Structure 1
Amino acid sequence: MRSMLSARYKDRYLTGQGANTHARNAVSSIQAKIDAAHVRYNAARNAIINIAPHVNNIGWQVEFHLLDTNDVRSMSDLLDGETQGTKSISWIWKMRGAATSEEDCEGSLEAMHIEWCKAHACTMRWAEEVELLKEEMQRILQYLEWEAVLWDKHAVEFHSSDDTEYEGCIAYAKWQADLHRSLALQFTHQWKDTCAWMDSVDTEDEL
C-alpha cells in the first residue's frame, strides 16, 4: 500500500496533455489497488481479532491499528485544516512493514528522507523567524528609549523668553519622554511570556 501511495503522489504531478491523460489513468488504477488493499487489511485485522483470544496472541493492536480512510494517504498529503508546518504523517509510514521488493523499500526510505528534509528546512526557517522577531522586539525597545532620551534633552536645552511658551514646551517634551517610556514598559509586559518561551526553546530541536 505504501508503494502505491508513493506512486500515486508521483503520477499526480506529471505535466503535459499526454502526461495528464496517463496520470489520470494511472491514479485511477492505483487508487483501485489502494482501496482493495485497505479492505484486505481491515478484513485481515478483523480475522485476527476473532482468533487472537484462542491463540493467546495479545498486544498486536498496538502496532496494527484500525485503518481509517484518513490514514490511507502519502507522506505529503494534508488533512483538512493542516498546513505544511502542522501536518501529521499517517501511522502507516511509522510502522515496520514487509516491502514487496527492494525498490519499494528504497522508495519508502527516499520518501521519508524527503519529508525529513522538508521538515528540517521548515524548522530552520522558523528558527530564523524567531531570531528576527527577537531582534525586532529589542530594536523597538531601544528606539523608544532613544526617543525618550531625546525628548529629555529637548526639555533641558530648550530656551525661550516667553514663560508661557517655555513652560508649555518643557511640559510637552516631558510628556513625550514619559509616553515613549510608557510604551516601552507596555510592550515589555505584553511580550514577557513570548520572550520567556523563545528563550526556553531550543529552536533547532523543538520548533
Structure 2
Amino acid sequence: CTEGLLEMELLLRDAQCRASLVKLRNQLVIKGRFLNYKALHARHQGATTRARGIVNRNEMKIRLHSEKYQCAWNVLFTFAGQDEGWVGWQKLRKEDVRCMEDANDLAVKEAKRKKARERLKRKLDELVAHAVDAPAWLKNAEDEDLDGDEEGRVGESRRQVSWIWMGAGMTGTDAELEDALRIEWAKAYVRARRWNEEVRLLTEEFRRVPISLECEADWWLERAQVVPVGTDALHEAYAQGMIAYAIKQESLFRGLAAR
C-alpha cells in the first residue's frame, strides 16, 4: 500500500461528507421554495402536475446527495473501527433529511392537523350514527393525515431542527446556495426556451401541412389531365379508370387540407 494513501482517503471522504451536506441543505431550501410556489400559485390539474414533477425531480437530487453522504460516512465509520465518536460526522437517517422550520410554523401545522383529525372523526361518527358505511377514502384519510406532511416528518422529530442545519460545513453556504439557485434558474430558463422552440416548430409544421396536401392534390389533378383519352395508346376503359382514381386522390387530399 502506498504510504499516506489511507490519510488521503480519509481526507477525501471527510471532504465528501462536507460537500454532500452543503449540497443537501441547498436542495432542501430549493424544495421548500418549490413547495411554497406550488401551494401559492399552482392551480388546477395541469399546473399542479407540473409543479409536482419539479418537486419530484428535486427530491431525486436530495436522495442522491443523501446517499453520497452516507456512503462517505460508512467508509469513515469502517476506518474508525465502527466507532461513531471517532468519525466526526453524524449518521444521516431518513428522518434527518427535512427542511428547516421554526417552532412556530410547526406548532401551526400541528394545530391544523389536529383540527383536520377532529373534522374527520365527526364525519365518521355521523355516518356511523346514520348506519351508513363510510367510503374507503374517508376511512383512510385520518391515517394519511397522521403519516405526516409532504416533507416526511413524523412524530416528535417535527418539533426540532434537524442536525444537518446545525452541523459543520456552514462556511460559504450562502454563496453556494445562491449558486445552486442560479443553476436551477438557468436550467428552468433553458427548458422554457426549448419548449418555446418546440412550439414554434409545431406551429410551422401545422402551417405547412395543408400547403403540402394542396400540392399533392394539384399533382393528382395534373396526372388526371395528362391521361391520353381517345387515342390508340390506351384503351378508353383504362383511361377512364386512371382519371377516376386521380380525381379520387385529388379529392382526398383536398379534404385533408380543409380539415
Of the two, which has the highest radius of gyration?
Answer: 2
TM-score by length of 1: 0.50
Give me the TM-score of the superposition, normalised by structure 2: 0.41
